[in-house]
Amino acid sequence: MTENVLEFGPCRRARFLARPNRFVVHCRLPDGEEARAFLPNPGRLWELLLPEAVVHLRDGGRRSSQNAGRKYRYTAVAVEREGAPVLLHTHWTNQVARILLEQKRIPGLEDVSILRAEVAHGRSRFDFLLRRRRTDLFLEVKSCTLFGNRVAMFPDAVTDRGRRHLLELAELSRRRVRPVVLFLVHTSDVDWFLPDYHTDLAFSQTLLQVRKKLDVIAVSLRWRSDLTLAPEVRRLHIPWSMLKREARDRGSYLLLLRLDREHRLRVGRLGQLSFPAGFYLYVGSAMQNLSARLARHQRKRKKFHWHIDHLREAAAACIPLAIRSSTRDECSLAAALSEICAAGPRGFGASDCACPTHLFFSEQNPLQLRPFHDLLQRFRMKPPEP
């Protein structure tokens, strides 16, 4: 049993610059040269791909045959967060799972053997067919890179495919096979796992609904700085009762708006106000039908009801960020934002509370700022109460 079964090949460390599209990143190599690299990961990865983050690039070489037909010499394999690499290369996920299964290192799956990989079943495909004594198990593996406050969450972007996969797995439980979904979390900095009900409520509610028909296993891995896998693999606790309480369509939200130029707007009773170009964060809440509220905010040309409607109409972009919760956190969110952003006009969105404002301004895109992600994770990733 060697630990270095995973051979990524020669890697170079570079600094992250930009991600012009989902599958490409721009990086700066140590010699100052800029490189474009293939990114085999469809996730958002917002909190990982921050400016100047260290990215491990596999160098396919100028003439490498592996590189034939590929547009890019480099492939982004991992990104560092607080000095520890997080695996980005999703094509390697099944290879990692295979090694851990073969080495009997996955708690809850130590007693299985692999029969086949990439198994077609009806119209679905699953990652592995396993056997435990006389029972067959279908295993689906998911790669999880979103974590904070000792909580890991999946997915980091809406995945309808992932949701359908859960339903198909649950359907299998009617036959004599046991379906298993395995989440590989690429950090050892976690104790709990939850589906990300802030980002993908449908996936989370589906997991809740089918959980008795399948085994849900989440484990934490640790990657060393040389991209070898450390021996410890820990099973994470899934706080189902907390999930049942919190994974509902209610809570608070942030709207991230971008103004490309300065606007002067009349905002209800606040009168004529000036809004410089830049990024705005608005805090609101909807203790029911939160998704419908966010959809309304995203639409333009509607009857104005709230202060924010005026600014939304002028904005070039609008990104909603749900923070689902059984508690109304909007005023504590506003207080937290006031520590890292400039306050917007007095009274904006805050007619019904004692806050100075519910609108905040940032010259830089908050999604590229670590303090903003820390804040978001503080509200979204709450460890269960003891």
Binding site for Zn ion (CB under 5 A): 331, 334, 350, 353, 355
* 210 vs 334 by CB, closer to Zn ion: 334
CB of 354 to Zn ion, least distance (A): 7
* 202 vs 343 by CB, closer to Zn ion: 343
- Residue number with the smallest Cβ distance to Zn ion: 355
CB of 194 to Zn ion, least distance (A): 27
CB of 200 to Zn ion, least distance (A): 27
- Indicate the residue type of 213: K
Residues with Cβ within 8 Å of residue 34, at least 6 apart in sequence? 17, 26, 27, 28
Give the C-alpha separation, 188 to 185, whole Å. 8
* 60 vs 349 by CB, closer to Zn ion: 349
Burial of 241 (0-12, 13-18, 19+ CB in 10 A): exposed
Strands 359-362 and 278-286: antiparallel
* 277 vs 353 by CB, closer to Zn ion: 353
CB of 282 to Zn ion, least distance (A): 12
* 239 vs 349 by CB, closer to Zn ion: 349
Give the C-alpha separation, 106 to 286, whole Å. 40
CB of 353 to Zn ion, least distance (A): 3
3-state SS class at 102:
helix
3-state SS class at 92:
helix
- Residue ranges in the chain assigned as alpha helix (H): 93-102, 160-172, 201-210, 240-246, 290-298, 307-314, 330-340, 370-380
CB of 356 to Zn ion, least distance (A): 9
* 278 vs 347 by CB, closer to Zn ion: 347
* Ordered strands of the 124-132 beta sheet: 113-121, 124-132, 135-144, 177-185, 215-220, 234-235
